[in-house]
Structure 1
Amino acid sequence: MGTKFPHTDQPVQVRTVLMRHDAPDGVHFDWMIEDPAESQGRLWTARVLIPAGQWHDVGRWRIEPIGRHRRVYLTYEGPLTDGRGTLTRVDQGVCRVVEWSDDGIVIDVQMSAFEGVVEVAKAHDGQWWATERER
Structure 2
Amino acid sequence: MPRFVILEHTTTEGTHWDFMLEQEGKLRTWSLVAEPCPGVEIPAKELPPHRLIYLEYEGEISGGRGVVKRWDSGRFYELLLSQRDRVQVQLYGSRIRGTVLLTRKPHEENSWQFYLLP
Residue in structure 2 matched with residue 96 of structure 1 by the alignment? 77
3-state SS, counterpart of residue 72 of structure 1: helix
Residue in structure 2 matched with residue 3 of structure 1 by the alignment? none
Bigger radius of gyration, 1 or 2?
A: 1
Which has the larger strand fraction?
A: 2
CA distance in 2, matches of 1:82, 1:28: 18
Contact 2:17/2:31 (<8 A) preserved: yes
Runs of 4 or more, structure 1, over 6 Å off, are: none
Give the CA deviation at 1:51.
2.1
CA distance in 1, matches of 2:39, 2:101: 16
Give the CA deviation at 1:20.
0.9
Residue identity in the other structure for 2:59: G
Structure 2: state its 5+ residue gaps.
none
Q: TM-score when scaled to structure 1? A: 0.77
Deviations 1:41-100 (A, max 9, x none): 210011012223xx2142x22111111100000001111111111111111111100111
Residue in structure 2 matched with residue 112 of structure 1 by the alignment? 94
Residue in structure 2 matched with residue 71 of structure 1 by the alignment? 52
Which has the larger helix fraction?
A: 1
Count of aligned positions: 115
**Identity score, percent:** 28
In structure 2, relative to structure 1, the CA distance for the partners of 1:105 and 1:57 (3 Å cut) is closer
Give the CA deviation at 1:125.
5.3
CA distance in 1, matches of 2:92, 2:20: 13
CA distance in 2, matches of 1:19, 1:114: 13
RMSD of the TM alignment (CA)? 1.7
In structure 2, relative to structure 1, the CA distance for the partners of 1:83 and 1:63 (3 Å cut) is same
In structure 2, relative to structure 1, the CA distance for the partners of 1:132 and 1:26 (3 Å cut) is closer
Q: TM-score when scaled to structure 2? A: 0.86
